[in-house]
Amino acid sequence: METENVEYPHLLLRTWPFTIVPDEESCKVWADRNRLKTEIETTFTNIMKTKVSQIAIFWAWYGTGKTHSLMHYHWKLNQSGDAYAVYTEFPQNARKFLDLYVTFSENLDFDRLQQILVKVFNSLYNKFQESEVKKFFRQEIAKNWSDFETAAEKLAFGTNEEREAAERWIKASPLKKREREIINVSSNLTMDDDAVKLLSCLTRTVTFRSDELKLPKMLIWMIDEFNRIDDINREDYQSAIRTGIHKVFNRTPKNFCFVLACSTRSIDDVYTILGDALKDRLSVSARPMRIDPLHVNEAIEFIKDILRKFRPSTCNISNDYFPFTIESVNYILSHMLANNVPLTPRKVMDFHGYVLQDQEDLIKKGKIKIITPECAASSLDKIPRDYYKI
C-alpha cells in the first residue's frame, strides 16, 4: 500500500473514519442504508421531474444521520448540477422570515450564481437586440423589479466593486447610499416581502430554460433543525416565518423546494410545527423521509462500508472490518444494546471510534495486530457507568 496522503497507514485508513459531526470530506461518503438512500433519491427525482414547487420533510430522532444525509445530498445535487441546493440551519433568535433568508443568502455559492447569470444574459443576447435584453430580463425574470435586474447584471458583468456591492445587496446587508448607487438599486432589503421577492427572482434565474441551457432544474433550500421554530416564544414571530415560507410558494409555483428537517420525538409533531397552511403544501409524491435507528445487521454493514470508503485506493485486504474483526464489531453493538444505547449512526460511530482511539497506539507499536472482542471489552470497561444514565 502506498502511504502518501494516508494518515493512519497502520490502520489502513486514509483519515479518521468516525467523524460524528459531518464535515466537507465526510459528507461525501454515504455508508450502507441503501433503503434510505433509495427513498431520498426517489423523492428528489420526483420533485425535479415535475418541477412543481413543494415542501419535502426530513424527520429523525437525534443522531440518526439527518444532518449528514442533508449535507450529503446538498453536495451530491450541486455536484451533479441537477439542482442549486443551499443548506442552512434554522437561525437562533429568529423573529421574521428575513432572518431565515439572511442565513440562506450567506450560504449561497456566488461564484456559481455569477456563472449562471452570465449564461442567462448571454443566451438572451443571442436571441434579442441588446436594447431588448434588459427589458426581457426585467419582465420575465425580475417580474418588473428593476432593483433585481440591475443588481443581477452587475453581479454578472460588473467590476469587482460592483460585484461586491451586488453580492452584499443580495445578502440583505445595509448598503450606504453611495453603494446602492454603484449598482443602481433604490433601497436595501429590510422586509420579509423583500426576501420573498428575491427568492422568487433567484429561482427563476438559476432555473431559466434549464433544459436548453443545462442549468439546475430546481432551487432547493434545506433548513436543518426547523423544529427550532417551536422554541420561539412569540407566536407573532412564528407566524411571520410560516407566512414568509407560504408566500414563497404563492410567488414561485415552479422550480423551488423547501426541505424542512426536524428532530422531534414523533413524526406527528412535524405536522404541528408546520401549521395548517404549510401542511397543505405537502405533496403525496414527496413523502416524509424518515430516518430511523439501525438494526444490528444494518449497523454491521454500516461500519464495514465506512471503513471501506476510508481506505486508500491501493489497499487490498481480506478482512473488511480491519482494524476490527466482525466479532469485535458484534461485541461493541451488543454492549450498546445491553446498555440501552440506541444504534443510531452517530452512536455506532462514537463507540467504534472510542474503541479504535483507545487501541490505535497499541496497533501502531505492534503490541496487538487487530482489535478482538477482548480488546474492545477492555476499552469499553473504561467508560464511566454514569455515561449510560445521560
pLDDT > 70 in the chain, percent: 93
Per-residue pLDDT, averaged over 355-373, amounts to 96
Residues facing residue 55 across a β-bridge: 258, 282
- pLDDT category, 63, cuts 50, 70, 90? low
pLDDT of the residue at 46: 85
Least confident of 40-49, 146-155, 165-174, 206-215: 40-49
Decide if pLDDT at 318 tops 70: yes
Q: Give yes or no: residues 83 and 153 share one domain.
A: yes
- CB-based burial label for 92 (10 Å; 0-12, 13-18, 19+): exposed
67 and 166 inside one domain: yes
Which of 231, 264, 292 delimits the end of a domain? 292
Q: Is the same domain home to 110 and 65? A: yes
Whether residue 273 sits in one domain with residue 165 = yes
> Which range marks the domain in which residue 122 is found?
34-292
Is 300 in the same domain as 288?
no
Pairing of β 83-89 and β 289-291 = unpaired
Q: pLDDT digit string (tens) for 219-233?
A: 999 999 999 999 998
The answer to whether residue 82 sits within a structural domain is: yes
pLDDT the model gives residue 29? 60
Write the DSSP string, 131-157.
HHHHHHIIIIISTT-HHHHHHHHHHHH
Shared-domain flag, residues 142 and 226: yes
pTM of the model: 0.78
Three cell numbers written together for 42: 426517489
Residues 194 and 284 in one domain: yes
Asked whether residue 187 is domain-assigned, the answer is yes
| 52 belongs to a structural domain | yes
Q: Of 265, 292, 319, at which residue does a domain stop?
A: 292
Would 249 be classed as within a structural domain? yes
Instruction: Reply yes or no on whether the pLDDT at 1 is more than 60.
Output: no
269's CB contacts (< 8 A; 6+ apart) are: 227, 262
Whether residue 194 lies inside any domain: the answer is yes
Residues of the chain with pLDDT > 90: what percent?
64
Q: What is the mean pLDDT of the chain?
A: 90
Looking at the structure, tell me whether residues 259 and 325 fall in a common domain. Answer: no
pLDDT at 32 over 60: no
Residues 256 and 120 in one domain: yes
Whether 257 and 368 map to the same domain: the answer is no
Residues 66 and 113 in one domain: yes
Q: Which of 59-63, 91-95, 324-328 is the least confident region?
A: 59-63
Cβ atoms of 111 and 105 closer than 8 Å: no
* Mean pLDDT confidence for 47-60: 87
Residue 49 has pLDDT above 80, yes or no: yes
**C-alpha dist (Å) from residue 94 to 1, 161, 235, 278, 340:** 51, 31, 12, 18, 36
- Match 452570465 to its residue by C-alpha cell: 118
Residue 51 near residue 217 (C-beta atoms within 8 A): yes
Residue 3 lies in a domain: no
- Judge if 319 and 382 occupy the same domain: yes
1 in a domain, yes or no?
no
Inside any domain, residue 375? yes
Choice among 18-27, 218-227, 319-328, 367-376 with the minimum mean pLDDT: 18-27
pLDDT at 257 over 60: yes
Q: Which has the higher per-residue pLDDT, 59 or 97?
A: 97
> For the CA atoms of the chain, what is the radius of gyration?
25
Q: Please tell me the predicted confidence (pLDDT) of residue 285.
A: 64
Distance separating alpha carbons of residues 360 and 371, to the nearest angstrom: 9
Q: Which of 277-281, 318-322, 331-335 has the lowest mean pLDDT?
A: 277-281
pLDDT for 285-300, tens place per residue?
A: 667 777 778 889 989 9
Show which of 292, 321, 350 is a domain's final residue: 292
Number of domains the chain contains? 2
Which CATH number goes with the domain that contains 128?
3.40.50.300
Per-residue confidence (pLDDT) for residue 22, from 0 to 100: 61
Residue 339 has pLDDT above 90, yes or no: yes
